[in-house]
Amino acid sequence: MTTQLADKRCVPCRGGTPPLTADDIAPLLAHLDGWQTDGDTKLVKSFRLKNFVQAVELVNALTPVAEAEGHHPDLYVRWGEVRVSLWTHKIHGLTESDFVMAAKIDRVYANRPHAVVPEAPV
């Protein structure tokens, strides 16, 4: 299903759309590896890399994907790590597009030649 999610497109959210409930989130989250929810309002994951340069390279590889999808994660970059937070700002919660973007981010990371096993968010 991760591949199926990654093959979908993010759909712009209109204000007034209700955020996903915990019951809606659980099956989508089950199809992602290592992502967690923060209060059922954000998706978070920490990606480990070998050094600062590779962390910045990952961010640079994510940028065109985020632009193409019109869905921009919050990224925290430090030596050997990129932390990603996703949510739909207009509704202050999660939509399916957040899970689609998470799967796309996982795909970019997996295709990096220097990827190492990700850890749970810190």
- For the chain, list the domains and their CATH numbers: 19-110 (3.30.1360.20)
- pLDDT tens digits, residue range 22-43? 999 999 999 999 999 999 999 9
* Angle at the Cα of 74 from the Cα atoms of 41 and 61, rounded to 5 degrees: 130
Token pair, residue 59, equals 């961010």
- pTM for this entry: 0.87
User: Of how many residues is the chain composed?
Assistant: 122
- pLDDT tens digits, residue range 8-26? 777 777 667 889 999 999 9
Tell me how far apart the alpha carbons of residues 108 and 110 are, in angstroms, rounded to a whole number.
Answer: 6
Tell me how far apart the alpha carbons of residues 99 and 85 are, in angstroms, rounded to a whole number.
Answer: 11
